[in-house]
Amino acid sequence: MRKQVFSLIAVFIGLISHAQTAAPPLVDGKCQEYEGLSAQVIELDHGVKLHFYQNQHYVWICYCYQEGSYGTLDLQVEAPGLDEPLNLHVSAQLGEWPVNKPEEQPQDPLSDKWWNHVGWTANEIWPNGIDRSGERAQPQFKNAKARELQLSKARFGRGEWKLKFNIRALRTTNGMANLNFPEGNDPHILQVN
């Protein structure tokens, strides 16, 4: 009996130790690592699987999508550390602007308003060389299997985060589609501690 109690205690201590030392996710466009963490998972339309994970410093958001998708994102965030709600944009470029000031959104790919993100990062659609086979050279891109973001609690604050996702260019059996989560006007509430 005594050996069984010590065995159970050893297993319990091992589980606690693993939970405390589990490595946080790496922003690399892969969601598999969230399966071993205490991540919240939400299944959405078009094969999108959304993961939320947080530690004492950061919040990670990762979503997988069907092969052939781009899964670009405009994420509206209203959080205690922000003066006003922000739109966080992830495609081949990263950028942010106030939701209520769309004129601050970059108007073209060469705009100096891109790459102005502060306190967050994401895996963008990766440049993958230049195709010179036609009359004009064209950039080539390669996409990850998932879109992944890391947001700093120091910038966005702790408490209730209100999130609205607009995920675009998702491959479906009927072509490409966009996805709004949640549907309607109410945001997804994420409690950030």
Structural domain includes residue 183:
yes
Residues 91-106: tens digit of each pLDDT: 999 999 999 999 999 9
**For the whole prediction, is pTM greater than 0.75?**
yes
Query: What DSSP string runs through 64-120?
Result: E--TT---EEEEEEE-TT-SS-EEEEESSSEEEEETT-GGGS--STT-TTSS---SE
Q: Is the pLDDT of residue 53 over 70?
A: yes
Residues 6-48: tens digit of each pLDDT: 444 443 444 444 445 578 999 999 999 998 898 999 999 999 9
Mean pLDDT of the chain: 90
Q: Is the pLDDT of residue 169 over 70?
A: yes
Burial 141-169 (b: 16+ CB within 10 A, else e): eebbbbbbbbbebeebebeebebbbebbb
Structural domain includes residue 110:
no
Q: Which two tokens stand for residue 153?
A: 């609690």
Instruction: Give the model's pLDDT for residue 1.
Output: 53
Structural domain includes residue 90:
yes
Helix (H, G, I), strand (E, B) or coil at 154: helix
Structural domain includes residue 32:
yes
Structural domain includes residue 52:
yes
Give the chain's domain count. Answer: 1
Range of the domain at 145: 2-104+115-192
Structural domain includes residue 36:
yes
16 vs 61: which has the higher pLDDT: 61
Structural domain includes residue 157:
yes
Instruction: Give the model's pLDDT for residue 22.
Output: 78
Q: Which two tokens stand for residue 123?
A: 């895996």
Structural domain includes residue 109:
no
Residues 173-193: tens digit of each pLDDT: 899 999 999 999 999 999 999
